[in-house]
Structure 1
Amino acid sequence: MKPLERLGEAKTPDGTVLQLYRHDGAYLIRADGVELMSTRRHLSEDKLAEVACAPLVTKPKARVLIGGLGLGFTLREALRHLGPDAEVVVAELVAEVIQWNANPEYALSAEAMADPRVRIVHEDVSKVLRNNVGGFHAIMLDTDNGPEGMIMKENSRLYATRGIAATMAALKPEGTIAYWSVGDDPGFVRALENAGLEVKAMKVRAHATSGPFHTLYIAS
């Protein structure tokens, strides 16, 4: 049996410990010992980018925001659906997560991050939203485990009333917000609808053939 190899450790502003591991060619990040994401299960993260970015494939100078770099799957999928003049802004709160993805020794996101369309911002996505009013054709938010599955408390404000309002304000006309959630959250749907958004829910497996279902909320 191949060992679990710890490659790095970081702390979020609220003290949550993130650890990067490698096991039998796969990578995973744990938050206080709980698996947060893995390269073995990422179909729902791919789908998040597809539903947000596929409609923009012919959009000149499309500009999109990804909240949370993770292991880079949403970024890589977004690039597949956007034109050569697009811009993908990725906001990541934890510097070490950016460093892990950029490390060419790991099979993560070094190539995608070097794409000229990509701009990585070491910043809380909430601040990026506030600083880019009317700035994005699509916004993809995959921070933590979604509105109810919080591991890092600093992410919770993104899903509250003010966070929803700031996200809406950062959209261009006819823009789309795509939220990733570990499961269903009817209360969050009501909050989005109360803000004036039309919401569609989509169930997607973590892996193409097995594993749990995650929920994507597409709001426009």
Structure 2
Amino acid sequence: MLPREEIATAQIPGGETLTLVSHGRDFIIMLGRNELMGTRMQFSEEQLAELTLAELRTSAPRVLIGGYGMGFTFRKALEKGGVKADIVVAEVVPEILEWAEGPLAHLTGDTLNDPRGNVVLCDVAALIDDANDGTCAKWDAILLDVDNGPDGIVRDGNERLYSRTGLGKARDALNSGGVLAVWSAAPDHRFRIRLKEAGFDVEERIVRARPNNKGPRHTIWFARKP
């Protein structure tokens, strides 16, 4: 059995330690002792972008992604967004971007230089607030993959994103017909109810972690602003 080799560590502001490890040809980001994401199970994170963009009614989507991770969602959004897409990623851990340009550069390719994309070191909640106070334009889609789900918080303060108040802010930051998409490692019936109470039309889909219909089942909520 191949051993795991620790490559680097990083501290989540207000959260636990992230560890980048290699396992043969694969790479994994660990949260404590748990696998947060890895190159063998990226399909559901790619689906977060692909399925959301398929729901949008514009050829020039303005998209906010919460969390860069290994860049799976960002790269798929660039692939599916079209030539007029404007895609912004909010990431709070600087080392994540260092890894993207270092040991994970073979995954990243030239996507960080794509003029349609911009990765910003900040809290995704701040960019949601900016859209609400007029500092920036509203979004056509907001994709949240900053935790393991509404009940799997990895950073202190992220609870607000999934609260009724936080969901209301996300709704107000969207253009009419815009979509809030939330990735989760597990289902959460109460969260679906909160989305509806926040004024969204909600669809819930179960997506496997691997494209061959294998691996863990993950949940994605697609909440459309009427």
**Same-fold call, TM cutoff 0.5:** yes
Q: State how 1:4-153 maps to structure 2 within 5 Å.
A: 4-56=4-56, 59-103=58-102, 106-133=105-132, 135-153=138-156
Q: Is the 8 A contact 2:20 2:29 kept in 1?
A: yes
Secondary structure, aligned partner of 1:108: helix
The separation in 2 between residues aligned to 1:81 and 1:55, in whole angstroms, is: 12
Per-residue CA deviations over 1:155-174 (Å, capped at 9, x if unaligned) read: 22111112111111110111
The separation in 2 between residues aligned to 1:42 and 1:105, in whole angstroms, is: 14
Unaligned segments of structure 2, at least 5 residues? none
The separation in 2 between residues aligned to 1:195 and 1:42, in whole angstroms, is: 30
Equivalence for 2:188: 185
Per-residue CA deviations over 1:155-210 (Å, capped at 9, x if unaligned) read: 22111112111111110111111110111101111111011111110000011232
Per-residue CA deviations over 1:123-150 (Å, capped at 9, x if unaligned) read: 0101111012351111111111010122
Matched, 1:199 2:202: yes
- Taking only aligned residues, the RMSD between alpha carbons, in angstroms, comes to 1.7
Per-residue CA deviations over 1:9-65 (Å, capped at 9, x if unaligned) read: 111122410111111111111112211111100111111101111244x83432101
The alignment's TM-score, normalised by the length of structure 1, stands at 0.93
The separation in 2 between residues aligned to 1:111 and 1:27, in whole angstroms, is: 19
Unaligned segments of structure 1, at least 5 residues? none
Equivalence for 2:216: 212
Question: CA 1:34–1:104 in structure 2 vs 1: closer, same or farther (change >3 Å)?
Answer: closer
Residue identity matched to 2:17: V
The alignment's TM-score, normalised by the length of structure 2, stands at 0.91
The separation in 2 between residues aligned to 1:36 and 1:104, in whole angstroms, is: 17
Question: What displacement does 1:2 show?
Answer: 3.5
The separation in 1 between residues aligned to 2:8 and 2:44, in whole angstroms, is: 25
The separation in 1 between residues aligned to 2:13 and 2:71, in whole angstroms, is: 21
How many residues are treated as equivalent by the alignment? 219
Q: Which runs of 4+ in 1 moved over 6 A?
A: none
Residue identity matched to 1:4: R
